[in-house]
Amino acid sequence: MSAELQDFVNQPYKHGFVTDIESDVAEKGLSEDTIKMISSKKNEPEWLLEFRLKAYRGWLKMEEPTWSSVHYPKIDLQAISYYAAPKKKPQLNSMDEVDPELLRTFEKLGVPLHERMALAGVAVDVVFDSVSVATTYKKKLAEVGIIFCSMSEAVLEHPELVKKYLGKVIPAGDNFFAALNSAVFTDGSFCFIPKGVKCPMELSTYFRINTEESGQFERTLIIAEEGATVSYLEGCTAPAFSSNQLHAAVVELVALDDADIKYSTVQNWYAGDENGVGGVYNFVTKRGLAKGVNSRISWTQVETGAAITWKYPSVILKGDNSVGEFYSVALTNHHQQADTGTKMIHIGNNTRSTIVSKGISAGVSTNSYRGQVKITPNADDARNYSQCDSMLIGDQSGANTFPYIQVRNNSAQVEHEASTSKIGEDQLFYFAQRGIDAEAAVSMIINGFCKDVFQQLPMEFAVEATQLLGLKLEGSVG
């Protein structure tokens, strides 16, 4: 790899700073007492404590999975603090009341909150560490019957909805990390779109891990009733800490008849330094249930951060004619490891799924696509199209594609395409010969490569995604 290219891909993480806000941090370690403490801190009803304890007892019997291609030292789960909340926990009526330090944090991230809201009309449920400190546009959403709040608030104010759907798409015992999350989750977002309502704006949540060594266990639940439509945006950036942080989120989506949920993520957790020291371990379970007829669930993700990414946003296509989509860009550099992909489980008749995965590997990183397409015996006329492209930058990175295809119905049509390309000396020389430096060249090549995914993102998010890849796009997108 040329020195120029090396420099470019090795740009330091720009969001590495620590916000100085007093935190209320629990003692390290995990036990039934810890869980009871979390539950009582949050004034939770008895049934939720039971849910947590049951998950915990199941988790104790589970083994950490080893089937993926990621390698990391065993995580000491007793060395993690399971609860951290900003001490100044304000009851806010407007943005003006938000801690100015917090607002400055968002400024540094390039997300001026009020401006962003004003310009884009985005309601932002700010999750800072584990507790929501600012929820906006709530009233406007409430007028059309939409509930958009923190999970803690939903538990207290809409317990019947939470009880009905929590853990129904991803059961507490689904996997090691989902079980852990079910036991100790502290907060997250809750979103309910009632029958027939088209959500009038993009719903957006900014997650940030702020307290060093506090595990983050986000829990998000989105329900779209019959004919409802929602587009949800999740963005993540984290400060540059030297010790690893575990992030084990669970996101559940439920779409009833004719409902449509679009879930977009830009993930930029701290990836560790160029020697692979530090960085977030991102072990996330995301799954949507396309329960109703003609329902649609679409995942779009841009994964640029985290030392390890282990994540397979999936769709269970249960309703007849339901649609599942997965659009992914995963960028790894230095010692980052990503093992990401999706599962499309076809159960209903005439169900359709699309998978477009773009993996970019630089440095000595490894980037694996792992995807399952399963057509069950009763799913007549199911269709899947998968496209998995890898791009290598330099000659020390790796890319893998692991497609698992199980078809148990003869009427199915399943297509899989894969390609690997490389940004090397000749590509950069061509750009240089046209006066374009390496940075702009890589930017243009990468953005072209990712176009099929970026165009699935809401406009302002697509712009941010481009920036988060550390790249600048000259001029307008063609």
Which residues contact another protein (rule: CB under 8 A)? 2, 421, 425-437, 440, 444-445, 447-452, 474-478
Q: Minimum distance from CB of 438 to another protein (Å)?
A: 8
Gap between the Cα atoms of 456 and 356, Å rounded? 11
| Dihedral pair phi/psi, residue 239, rounded to 5° | -70, 160
Residue whose structure tokens are 């470019």: 8
In terms of phi and psi (left: phi > 0; alpha: psi -120 to 50; beta: otherwise), the region of 422 is: beta
Task: Output the smallest distance, CB 233 to another protein, in A.
Answer: 23
Instruction: Please report how close the Cβ of residue 449 comes to another protein at its closest, in angstroms.
Output: 6
CB 30, CB 77: distance < 8 Å:
yes
Query: Are the beta carbons of 37 and 83 closer than 8 angstroms?
Result: yes
203, β-bridge pairs: 123, 232
CB of 399 to another protein, least distance (A): 16
**Closest CB 448 distance from another protein, rounded Å:** 3
Name the strand (E) or helix (H) holding 216: none
Q: Which is nearer to another protein, 255 or 393 (CB)?
A: 393
DSSP structural state of residue 124: E
Closest separation in Å from C-beta 476 to another protein: 5
CA distance 456 to 472: 19
Give me the residues paired with residue 316 across strands: 289, 345
Q: Which amino acid is at 109?
A: L
CA distance 478 to 466: 14
Q: Nearer to another protein by C-beta: 27 or 437?
A: 437
DSSP per-residue codes, 264-322: EEEEE-----TTS-SEEEEEEEEEEEE-STT-EEEEEEEE---SEEEE--EEEE-STT-
Least separation in angstroms between CB 402 and another protein: 23
Q: Whose Cβ is closer to another protein: residue 17's or residue 429's?
A: 429
Per DSSP, the three-state class of 92 is coil
Cα distance from N-terminal residue to C-terminal residue, the chain: 29
| Element at 401 (helix H, strand E) | strand 398-407
Residue whose CB is less far from another protein, 413 or 421: 421
Rg for the chain, CA atoms, rounded: 22
Strands (E), 129-278: 131-135, 147-150, 189-193, 203-208, 219-224, 229-237, 244-247, 250-255, 260-268
Is the Cβ of residue 440 or residue 463 nearer to another protein in the bound state? 440
Residue 459 C-beta: closest distance to another protein, Å: 17
Q: In this complex, which beta carbon is closest to another protein, that of residue 134 or of residue 457? A: 457
Residue placing its CB nearer to another protein in the complex, 415 or 437: 437
| Token reading at 303 | 């994964």
Pick the closer one to another protein by CB: 61 or 434: 434
Nearest distance from C-beta of residue 436 to another protein, angstroms? 6
Minimum gap (Å) between residue 452 Cβ and another protein: 7
Nearer to another protein, 187 or 389 (CB): 389
Instruction: For another protein, give the closer residue by CB, 75 or 432.
Output: 432
